[in-house]
Structure 1
């Protein structure tokens, strides 16, 4: 089993040491720099990560750049802000490698004050409900921690390059008949300032992007 873990990164200099030291031994960390101005790419290289630059801003753009740069049999995704421990991805990868599941997702369980702002949690709950209605999958989170086979992910032909990328991945996987499963993972207060769901505006944009993905899926596009 070979594994690459994709870590989308925008000004995460404070979090990178904590994150990269927890990547399982033998895995390749792919840090996708999405326009950092705090020296994040240099720090990542010094710590042994492969750095990929993606000039197009957007969570989906960064994730997909990492996926296309990956070479391993299995690709994992994890936020790069120290809110999630990439070491917890080891059983995710094993489950996929052993053929027990096709897409493994982490259901975030907040630990500590400020780990998950109320407005972000409310948006996630609403979208998860819509996802269950759309796919019939018993899922409760659209979190970024996940694992699947690289070739299978590329075969989904994901097109969203904004916040809807994680949702589009799940919807297309469900439509393709994948076995999708989620397990609980601790969700910690992030290091530094959130660029997405840490603000009402960021949460609104995320919900808007994901609702657009669901609408497109409902239209059969």
Structure 2
């Protein structure tokens, strides 16, 4: 298992799965419609980040999108369709299969012709979105999820800075990994200050924190409670 930028690479018996957290395609368009200004080509930034990831790992068997692929509830923006098409066209160059785990923002993906699953099993690892409990996953030794957009604020006497991060810990005998949002629109939420809204009551203060720094470098920082 390897932490690469904001993604997680898992290899088993010669097969490789790359897990990618919440993308929120269409976010920039939705923000503009609401009168807010954000960079319009967030997807371009994400594709550039993915390009760096694949430059390191090469082609994989499966890219697994961990839910909240689209952003807007209740309707489908043209930009969401366009960005999804761009994303899939890019990913198909780097993988054999693309699996979409259904997130709480993704209720209308089926109307875009996108097949989704509630969970995905790869050996002893089960991938879910994280917003609600899913049946049939309790026997998995590892849970990997998104949804929470974890981040941590690190500070010293001079400054403070927030970093997207992975949370990695144990819960009831299994390993749990919470993957950061892949979208550059928001760094995320610090679980010491805000609930991540996960379906399970994990002991997050005892989870290991891995921050994602400049150029996608991942650094282990110790337990959340000690930061």
Query: When the two structures are superposed, what TM-score results if normalisation uses the length of structure 2?
Result: 0.30
Q: Report the structure number with the largest CA radius of gyration.
A: 2
Bigger fraction of residues in helix: 1
- Which structure has more strand as a fraction of its residues? 2
Question: Which structure would you say has the larger RCO, counting Cα contacts within 8 Å and 6 or more residues apart?
Answer: 1
